[in-house]
Amino acid sequence: MQFTLANAATLQGLVFFGAADVSNVPSQFGGTIGFRFLSNNAGAPGTSLALGSDSSVQLVNNGTQNLGTDEYRFLVNLGSIPLGAGTYWLAMHEGAMGTAADGTAIYWDTTSSAPVGTPIGKSTTQLDGLSGYANTSTNSAFAFQLLDAPAYNAVPEPSTWVLMLSAGGFLLLRRRR
């Protein structure tokens, strides 16, 4: 998907909207979204600028249906990706980039803001190198939002909980003395 930043930003989160042709998207979704940010090369994806994945993607049910299945907001944390003002490309994949899909088609929803017949977006289904990408033109813009903050608060790892609870217990004991 091609997008333009009016100002420099450090991207930390991504929200996109999606549905699938299964009745229960969360049970079918593998939990990981891979992403790649690329420069713009005369209206096509250029050089790879950032590559990553989030293996703890959060799904939020929108309470609406699309093609007979529930529609979800996919909340993806990107880490920290600084980009200057300009035009870029975003490629996403269910699973880490370069891995095989799990067989469940998650459809990236579009908005209805573009005039019908105006192809304005290209969805990159897989992009492992700097050439040879597959794309599909659409008649409306893809529904997504880039954020300058994480899309969700990560749940601490169990070892982090143990460390925090140990430190809290130590402070309580020290205070009582």
pTM score, whole prediction: 0.72
> Would you say residue 92 has pLDDT above 70?
yes
Task: Please calculate the CA angle 130-132-138 and round it to the nearest 5 degrees.
Answer: 105
Name the band, by pLDDT with cuts 50, 70 and 90, for residue 83. Answer: very high
Average pLDDT over residues 120-127: 38
Provide the pLDDT for residue 120.
Answer: 34
Residue ranges per domain, the chain? 2-176
- Residue 2: how many other CB atoms lie within 10 Å: 17
| DSSP H or E stretch at residue 72 | strand 69-83
> Would you say residue 22 has pLDDT above 50?
yes
- More confident: 70 or 115: 70
Name the band, by pLDDT with cuts 50, 70 and 90, for residue 157. Answer: low
Average pLDDT, the chain: 74
**Could you give the CA distance from residue 134 to residue 95 in angstroms, rounded to a whole number?**
17
Average pLDDT over residues 60-81: 85
Name the band, by pLDDT with cuts 50, 70 and 90, for residue 126. Answer: very low
Burial of 117 (0-12, 13-18, 19+ CB in 10 A): exposed
Q: What is the per-residue burial (b if ≥16 Cβ within 10 Å, else e) of 51-73?
A: bbbbeebbeeeeeeeeeebbbbb
